Amino acid sequence: MTTPRRPPAAAPPFGRVVTAMITPFTADGALDADGAQRLATHLVDDGGCDALVLSGTTGESPTTSDAEKETLLRAVVEAVGDRARITAGIGTSDTRHSTALARSAERAGAHGLLVVTPYYSRPTQEAVTHHLRTVADATGLPVMLYDIPGRTGTALAAGTLLRLAAHPRIAAVKDCAYDPLKSAKVLAATGLAYYAGCDEQILPLRALGGAGCVSTAGNAAPRAVRAVLDAFDAGDTAGATRRQLALIPLIEAVTGGEHPGAVTVKALLNHLGLPAGPVRGPLLAPDAELTRRLADALQTTLDRTADGDTAAVPAAVPG
């Protein structure tokens, strides 16, 4: 039995089904702009993504130069910018550098900015607030805050998020904090659009009123990721649950081990014959055994969802 169709909790300013896209490199480690265009086109036109995030964690942003980030962004905007919203990751530990990257991304055609909490230096909440407001003031683009304390060492406190929500261009949060109480408090008190930044949280956060997801697993199985949200928004809560659970083997393989998502996803895309290439140091390519386990996990997820489910999900849920 289904329940009535649910409208989005808020207009999703950064799209709804968003993939945190890897950055393809050539065999010798150079930026593969042509490969990025092919992959972005595949994710949007074949995979059903309505948005992409570039130069995030999965995009190996600490290892790409400012010029490479701009080249990547321009290439992807050229390829799919009229069919998907493109968000540029511009977060660094240096406020001046992040501000410069934000302005560069705006000039290059980005539709929005992803700004991570400054890492390593462990700033106070007051300093974090100043940093994020300064970056948001630098352009006219909407900003998605990236709350991922497991990587940065600094969480965005609920009070900080409530203060930042008053900024006219701070519109969303990519939530990797694993703090559902905080998420619920901020969702209840603000108009911020919440995006699940961890694939296992896609359905739980949507049920709380989240706007969508920024998915790592979506690089390899975008339709299976989209199917979770499409089923829930169509009122099929049982189907949404089944689809979320079907993703677990892939999610665990991609993000549940010691290897970062950039490593595991690139291994899967290379296995599938899609543009990816090697990772850059300090990351190391997976061995053959890990690649085999990743491929098996992907196949298990696809088998669990391919009994007509994901293929039958429409390209867009009617409003």
Q: Measured between alpha carbons, how far apart are the two ends of the chain, in Å? A: 20
Indicate if the pLDDT at residue 319 is higher than 50: no
Question: CA dist 166 to 114, 131, 139, 161, Å?
Answer: 17, 15, 16, 9
β-bridge mates for residue 31, sequence order = 25
Q: Can 69 be counted among the known catalytic residues?
A: no
How many CB atoms are closer than 10 A to CB 91? 28
pLDDT(7) > 80: no
β-partners of residue 214 are 18
Give the closest residue to 314 by CA, choosing from 48, 14, 2, 17.
Answer: 48
Looking at residue 220, what is its pLDDT? 97
Evaluate if residue 9 carries a pLDDT over 80.
no
Cβ atoms of 261 and 176 closer than 8 Å: no
DSSP lists the bridge partners of residue 114 as: 89, 144
Output the pTM of the full model.
Answer: 0.91
pLDDT computed for residue 143 by the predictor: 98
Catalytic residue (choose from 69, 146, 194, 266): 146
Pick from 42-51, 158-167, 280-289, 300-309: least confident:
300-309
Under the banding of pLDDT at 50, 70 and 90, the label for residue 136 is very high
> Taking 60 as the threshold, does the pLDDT of residue 10 lie above it?
no
Confirm whether 146 is a catalytic residue: yes
pLDDT of residue 311: 37
Residue 85 has pLDDT above 70, yes or no: yes
- The answer to whether 142 and 112 are in contact (CB under 8 A) is yes
Identify the active-site residue in 69, 174, 182, 266: 174
Domains defined along the chain, listed by start: 17-312 (3.20.20.70)
